[in-house]
Structure 1
Amino acid sequence: MTGPRIGTVVWPMQSWPEAGETWRRAEELGFHHAWVYDHLAWRGATPWYDAYTTLAAAAAVTSRVRLGTMVTSPNFRHPVPTAHAIKTIDHIGGGRLAVGIGSGGVSRTSDGGVLGGPEWTTAERAARFAEWVELLDRLLRGPETTFEGAHYAAREVVTEPGCVQRPRVPFLIAANGTRGMGIAARHGAGWVNTAVAPGRAPEGVVRSRLDALRAACEAEGREVRDRVLLTGFTGEPWLESPQAFADLAGRYGELGITDIVLHWPRPGTQWDADMGVFEAIAAEHGTGG
């Protein structure tokens, strides 16, 4: 296999056991990793099942594919119960979990503002994100955590036996700006981006953001190994044909992208695609390719 590793987002819209068959199929097709969005709904779509419960079930019915959130949202999750769920799923899956984390969106059709209270300003959202990630990091490293921040707190939280993966499960930080890049460089094993910026070509966006990530890593004295491109938002023809995918993957791989994530085809939406093309891409670029 050459080029970036490939993964897929599995929509949390099927009931079990049908959903279990989809997760098993993702593994059979050879995807290196499979992800689920973490929302209470998404753009008004229903039904929409819980990400962490879904991952626990998916971990139980698969054995090889890495699993994770794309991405966990502080909009409605506190780090303490989130850490408890993460370490449990990591044990169920035998150390295959990765946790994508983002600052959370503002749309009420997904989960923005669902807990009530005043609207978060941009600065407050950024501050909450930084503190959320810091506390989750401490909780998963354990063995006991007490923390008092401006937005989140934890008191004598015991996290033993901890995660299967040591010192904790890997974090993949979704970030565009300077502060987010700093969080990725400080805490992340990976970085997630969609290449979206109004009026700009996607490849140029990724190039400039990778430069910013490298600068942040240099300042922190760390390296972010996995650089993930979540596709499907820029109009690029990722699932038009196996050749179109290979061409795009090659170009982004040259820029420094290590992983590409495709959406499982969803009829009647912008993520609709020929399932035969989707499977051919997995066969050629997945673990069996």
Structure 2
Amino acid sequence: MRLSTVILPVRRWSDGGREVWQRAEELGLHAAYTYDHLSWRTFREQTWFGALPTLTAAAAATSRMRLGTLVTSPNFRHPVTLAKELISLDDISDGRVTLGIGAGGNGFDATALGQEAWSPRERADRFGEFVGLLDRLLTEDAVTYEGVHYSADEARNIPGCVQRPRLPFAVAATGPRGLKLAARYGQAWVTTGDPKVSNAGGTPAESLAAVRGQLERLAKACAEQGRDAAELQKIMLTGFTPDRPLDSMDAFVDFAGRHAELGIDELVLHWPIADSVFAADTALFERIVTEGPAQLDAA
């Protein structure tokens, strides 16, 4: 199992921002992601920078670790402009970018451009069109497309991605339409667990069962698309289940081991942020990152 982190864009680059990304690479993490939001929940009234400029700076400050969004959504993005920025970022990073992408939610981003919040059906419709058009924009030199929600008129993306045929998509999805997109376009699938379990005060065992069910539905969606589910990496963004894997080394090994048995390939841990919902002991976090995989193998 690979370990990665998500570094929220809450630090000025000149005041610790650069050092966090460089430290993540020094620790040997597989990837470092960031949220692609205009603001987010409890951080809304605090410092919060843009995802793609942050990743561009991180690409220049690192050399080995993969980088990406976790996740980008259609809430305030358009496929044509996003494709151009992603191709540029893939070039600057020398092919180290993964695009985590999801349908988005009803948070602050949903109305930040002055639009009404979309219904669940419209959100799913937009997501399907968004992903399909973005796939074309990242693989074809010129694209013309007229859709219900998005259009492109001879949009050019030369020379394309460093990664061929395009940079990988990690599709966050749990519903049938989203899982179908993951099966068709994804190189990876992303879950945060089942929010219904956490919101209802569920147990770690109930959360594990919910993730097992998600993986079973993903396998079914892949079979319907003529794909082997083993082709997709399975990524879990932690911090949204009843578990507390950063409380101790034993807690991490237990959590990681149970999810590895299900088939999760990559765990993403939030980089600690003091006085926030992601507060954690930084020394313990670094010890988990550096020593945890070996202890997991031994267990």
Identity across the alignment (%): 49
For residues 245 and 144 of structure 2, the distance between their equivalents in structure 1, rounded to whole angstroms, comes to 46
For residues 242 and 90 of structure 1, the distance between their equivalents in structure 2, rounded to whole angstroms, comes to 35
Asked whether the equivalents of residues 31 and 286 of structure 1 are also in contact (C-alpha less than 8 Å), the reply is no
For residues 45 and 215 of structure 1, the distance between their equivalents in structure 2, rounded to whole angstroms, comes to 42
Residue in 2 that maps onto 1:280 = 287
Residue 211 of structure 2 corresponds to residue 209 of structure 1: no
For residues 92 and 234 of structure 1, the distance between their equivalents in structure 2, rounded to whole angstroms, comes to 35
Asked whether the equivalents of residues 5 and 285 of structure 1 are also in contact (C-alpha less than 8 Å), the reply is no
Alignment of 1:1-289 (within 5 A): 4-17=1-14, 18-43=16-41, 44-108=44-108, 111-199=109-197, 200=202, 201-222=206-227, 223=229, 224-285=231-292
For residues 212 and 76 of structure 2, the distance between their equivalents in structure 1, rounded to whole angstroms, comes to 32
Structure 2: 5+ residue runs without aligned partners?
Answer: none
Q: Normalising by the residue count of structure 1, what TM-score does the alignment of the two structures yield?
A: 0.95
The one-letter code of the counterpart of 1:260 is L
Structure 1: 5+ residue runs without aligned partners?
Answer: none
Over the aligned positions, Cα root-mean-square deviation in angstroms equals: 1.4
The one-letter code of the counterpart of 1:280 is R
For residues 178 and 210 of structure 1, the distance between their equivalents in structure 2, rounded to whole angstroms, comes to 12
Per-residue deviation at 1:193?
0.5
Asked whether the equivalents of residues 207 and 242 of structure 2 are also in contact (C-alpha less than 8 Å), the reply is no
Dislocated runs of 4+, deviation >3 Å: none
Query: Bigger CA drift: 189-198 or 176-185?
Result: 189-198
Per-residue deviation at 1:235?
2.9
Structure having the higher helix fraction is 2
SS for the counterpart of 1:112 is helix
Per-residue deviation at 1:174?
0.5
- How many residues of Structure 1 are paired with residues of Structure 2 in the alignment? 283
For residues 86 and 46 of structure 1, the distance between their equivalents in structure 2, rounded to whole angstroms, comes to 27
Q: Normalising by the residue count of structure 2, what TM-score does the alignment of the two structures yield?
A: 0.92
Return closer, same or farther for 1:140/1:286 CA change in 2, 3 Å cut-off: farther
Per-residue deviation at 1:123?
0.4
